[in-house]
Amino acid sequence: MFVRTVSSLDIAAVRELLVATWHDTYDAIYGAERVRAITDEWHSAATLETRLDQPHSEFLVADDGATLGGVAFATYSPEDKTVTLHQLYVRPGLQGQGIGSLLLDEIESCFPDADKMRLEVEEANAKAVGFYHQQGFAKVGQTADCGQAGSGIPAAIYERPIVWAD
């Protein structure tokens, strides 16, 4: 897998990856109908398209030339030097092969002035929580509205410092 920037030609494949991953991960937590509603809103082609030219952001995929193995989207706040990781998903069946780490490392390298990375994660998603712990993240808080204001989805907030080698 290699990591590259998402283009408009990737939007349908990114949406398919997100829908498949969300159903695989969250159907048991929220139910298939709620997952369908969330993915229809959060992962619509129109919503994904807006990320292509969003300032202070990176929208990446892991690609092997035939399949998109993962996707990541993050924004950067120069005011507090924080990268917010909004999405990091690896296709079911390809998880545990280093794709998530590859995407996370690339996202971090895209923001050389950053000094920390923050994310929200559903605590019932044990695989994701374990992954983020392995990557050096620590829980620093809670939110009642994961993903967007008014979502009603509780999540833990995790952070890790970004340490740049000299």
Supply the mean pLDDT for the chain: 92
Residue 155 — very low, low, confident or very high, per pLDDT cuts 50/70/90?
Answer: confident
Higher local confidence (pLDDT), 117 or 30: 117
CB-based burial label for 129 (10 Å; 0-12, 13-18, 19+):
middle
Q: Mean pLDDT over residues 90-113, rounded?
A: 95
Quickly name the fold that domain 2-161 has.
Answer: Aminopeptidase (3.40.630)
State pTM to two decimals.
Answer: 0.92
For the chain, give the percent of residues with pLDDT over 70. Answer: 99
Q: What is the pLDDT of residues 125-143, one digit of tens each?
A: 999 999 999 999 999 999 8
Pairing mode, if any, of strands 82-90 and 2-5?
Answer: unpaired
